[in-house]
């Protein structure tokens, strides 16, 4: 199978991502066969560490595809990183602004153009003390229903042991076991073509994230919580 062409900046990022992945982890990449060899796909992941994008990028690249991340727009202001983000076709997310809809528009266009788009629907690193997914934003449902492409859930586990951003802990050595597992595409056929309203968006978001939680439970060999974590709930 031929590798999807990514251009200079994707190759530039790979030069850094592969050594980082090897230096800090004993990695397992499972279920890569669920990432389509061609055509658009929406990759939906949990988010437990700022290190996750490295391993998200690696699993997509190992499947011979080019990852396009939905990422906060402030990253485009960084000197070298900003050029890499723009040059490699990443998609800026403008939160709480008049430009917020541009992210969904650009993500939809990328999917319709046959690209692989990666999204972390929680919007930030999970605040669940046990590392389970939080209640997700419904933008993932809008994207998932905007283009008739596979919606592939996948999870990371072990990245927080290396880099715990909330507790400011970075422990690269000894190398930690990190697992990235992709699952079968989520069946959204019952929702496609229906008018979108708040109820449908919430239902589809929770359906996708439930599958993400189930995948994470398989990797952790534990049972996933019945409800998604809500920061501040009950406090």
Helix/strand/coil for 109:
helix
Helix/strand/coil for 156:
strand
Helix/strand/coil for 198:
helix
**Listed residue (183, 179, 188) closest to 215, CA to CA:** 183
CB 104 within 8 Å of CB 143: yes
Q: Looking at the predicted structure, is the pLDDT value of residue 196 above 90?
A: no
- Phi and psi at residue 211, in whole multiples of 5°? -70, -35
Give the pair of three-digit tokens for residue 216: 């994470």
The least confident of 69-78, 194-203, 214-223 is 69-78
Q: Looking at the predicted structure, is the pLDDT value of residue 73 above 60?
A: yes
Strand partners, 43: 118, 152
Helix/strand/coil for 219:
helix
Domain 8-220 superfamily per CATH: Glycerol-3-phosphate (1)-acyltransferase (3.40.1130.10)
Q: Where are the domains of the chain?
A: 8-220
More confident residue, 51 or 72: 51
The CB-side HSE value for 114 (13 A sphere, CA atoms) comes to 7
CB 219 within 8 Å of CB 181: yes
Provide the percentage of residues in the chain whose pLDDT is more than 90: 65
More confident residue, 152 or 168: 152
Average pLDDT score, the chain: 89
Q: Looking at the predicted structure, is the pLDDT value of residue 204 above 90?
A: yes
- Phi and psi at residue 182, in whole multiples of 5°? -100, 145
Cα angle: 149, vertex 145, 109; to 5 degrees? 65
pLDDT value of residue 41: 97
Helix/strand/coil for 34:
helix
pTM, whole model, 2 decimals? Answer: 0.91
Task: Give the model confidence (pLDDT) of 165-178 as tens digits.
Answer: 888 899 988 999 99
**Best-predicted range by mean pLDDT among 14-28, 53-67, 97-111?**
53-67
d(CA 105, CA 214): 29
């Amino acid at each position: 199978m031929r590798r999807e062409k990514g251009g200079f900046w994707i190759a530039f990022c790979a030069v850094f991502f592969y050594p980082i992945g090897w230096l800090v982890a004993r990695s397992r990449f499972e279920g890569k066969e669920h990432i389509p060899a061609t055509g658009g796909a929406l990759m939906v992941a949990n988010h437990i560490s700022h290190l996750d994008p490295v391993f998200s990028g690696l699993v997509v690249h190992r499947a011979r595809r080019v990852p396009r991340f939905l990422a906060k727009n402030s990253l485009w202001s960084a000197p070298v990183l900003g050029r890499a983000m723009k040059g490699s076709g990443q998609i800026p997310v403008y939160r709480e602004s008049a430009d917020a809809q541009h992210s969904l528009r650009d993500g939809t266009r990328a999917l319709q153009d046959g690209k692989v788009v990666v999204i972390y629907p929680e919007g930030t690193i999970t605040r669940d003390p046990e590392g389970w997914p939080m209640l997700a934003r419904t933008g993932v449902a809008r994207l998932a229903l905007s283009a008739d492409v596979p919606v592939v859930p996948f999870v990371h586990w072990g990245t927080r042991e290396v880099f715990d951003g909330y507790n400011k802990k970075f422990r690269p050595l000894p190398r930690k076991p990190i697992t990235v597992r992709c699952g079968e595409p989520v069946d959204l056929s019952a929702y496609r073509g229906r008018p979108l309203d708040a109820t449908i968006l919430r239902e589809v978001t929770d359906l996708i994230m439930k599958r993400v939680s189930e995948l994470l439970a398989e990797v952790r060999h534990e049972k996933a919580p019945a409800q998604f974590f809500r920061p501040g709930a009950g406090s």
